[in-house]
Amino acid sequence: MLEQYYVRPDTVDRVRSSWIGEAVEKYVAWLADRGYSSRTVCRRILILIRFGRFARDRGAAELGQLAGHVEAFVQEWIRERAGARTSVSRQKKIGECVRNPLQQMLRLIVPGYVGLGRSHKPENPFREHAPRFFEYLKEEKGLREASIEHYRHYLRQFASYLQRAKLEDLAHLGPVVLSGFVAEYSQRVGLPGLRNCCGVLRVFLRYLYRERVLAKDLSGVVEYPQFFRLSGIPRSITWDQVRQVLARVDRRTPIGKRDYAILLLLVTYGLRAREVAALTLDDLDWRNNRLLIPERKAGHSTAYPLSSVIGEAIVDYLKNGRPQTQDRHLFFRSVAPRIPIGHAAVSTRAGHYLCKAGIQIPRAGSHTLRHTCVQRLVDADFDLKTIGDYVGHRAPASTQIYSKVAIEALRQVALGDGEEVL
């Protein structure tokens, strides 16, 4: 494996002659499998070999003892490369760049090593009092994993508040504490987020009462905020603006080829970011010119006719942009590690091109293009049921929030006297 990165055999011999040479070579193979560039691999090898000498000089005699020398090596590295005027943030960045390969290698070769990675959020913040709550959501309420993850998010916020309030026993939970949490959380989120949080809290409180953790059902204490379903304005853009967004994509690069195909999928079919990120090669039925979306938010599947423009964009990405991998996912990260792109990245890339095109819109992201798709269908006089089926809604009422405003007609009124429209 090392021969792929070094031309001179004596360089390879020096790496292998290190007392941690075998571990380094194993780590190099791990990096290569994940698509790290040759430049990155060579730079990390130099760090690791020097770390091996540093640890040996400090008395390390076996691989299991390396972990105790990581931070001392990182601090020495920072002292050598950080001048007197180097900011604290820059020093921290230097430390992260050298600590990361050390910890990656140690996780690979030392069983049970964790290091100083990001702290993992608890799967169940109320494991002691409600250990089976998330099983209840899945098995009894039939919620999908994406919905259950929302419950985890809001309950972590609630658990954090209880920790600050120093309330450890849920049996002592009362209206004052619940009202205090809702009042505090309302300062950090909008009305839709607050309403979702209140809904999660009510379900959790009813469950605690059912399990006899609470002596009284407190779900009625948590009142939903006044929020009118159709009070917002859809975040759609015009079709001319869509063309401006697509024109900002540099389709000569692998990233541009991927992003161009993603943007076309979002605005043509009104897909959600999660649905785009979950696409696999098996969802492309080339023989019948169909695109399959097997698992939608409402629990059903959809098959679309595959547009020739989208098909050409996907083929271009598959041939000239997608990394060589056995993974069947369609879209991948452009940098190492080469793993499937996440839904957050899909939304971020859409927002990036909206901003790049100079389009000012609140919360620019993938849903902007989904709104645009729905608005275009509304302007074409399709009924709500047809539009809802097209974009994956379970009921026509879900489509109303997207289609309540005749955007194009109002634009004409604003630009002229409006008599022809009326």
Predicted local distance difference test score (pLDDT) of residue 416:
66
For residues 306-337, one letter each, b for 16 or more C-beta atoms within 10 angstroms of the residue's C-beta and e for the rest, the string is bbeebbebbebbeeebbeeeeeebbbbbbebe
Structure tokens at 401: 């929030």
Q: Cα dist. 152→6, 99, 122, 129, 192 in Å? A: 48, 31, 9, 15, 17
What strands, in cross-sheet order, belong to the sheet with 284-285? 284-285, 290-293, 302-305
d(CA 153, CA 131): 16
pLDDT tens digit sequence for 268-320: 999 999 999 999 999 999 999 999 998 777 667 889 999 999 999 999 999 99
Residue 7 has pLDDT above 80, yes or no: yes
Average confidence score pLDDT of the chain = 88
Helix axes 254-269, 366-379, angle to 10 degrees: 40
Catalytic site includes residue 367: yes
User: Letter for the amino acid at 37?
Assistant: S
284 bridge partner residues: 291
Q: Omega before 337 cis (within 30°)?
A: yes
Q: Calculate mean pLDDT across residues 215-226.
A: 89
Contact present, 329 and 338 (Cβ < 8 Å): no
Contact present, 100 and 118 (Cβ < 8 Å): no
Residue of 50, 195, 297, 329 marked catalytic: 297
Catalytic site includes residue 92: no
Catalytic site includes residue 300: no
Predicted local distance difference test score (pLDDT) of residue 255:
95
Q: Calculate mean pLDDT across residues 42-62.
A: 94
d(CA 363, CA 323): 31
Residue 224 has pLDDT above 70, yes or no: yes
Residue of 272, 322, 349, 371 marked catalytic: 272
**What is the number of helices (H) and of strands (E) in the chain?**
18, 3
Q: 79 Cβ partners below 8 Å, 6+ apart? A: none
Contact present, 359 and 244 (Cβ < 8 Å): yes
Predicted local distance difference test score (pLDDT) of residue 421:
47
Catalytic site includes residue 402: yes
Q: Calculate mean pLDDT across residues 67-77.
A: 93
User: Is 133-221 CATH 3.90.550?
Assistant: no
Catalytic site includes residue 394: no
Structure tokens at 143: 């919620």
Structure tokens at 239: 């079709």
Look at the domain 239-415 and name its fold: hpI Integrase; Chain A (1.10.443)
Catalytic site includes residue 370: yes
133-221 and 239-415 agree in CATH topology: no
Domain boundaries, the chain: 2-109, 133-221, 239-415
Structure tokens at 155: 């309950």
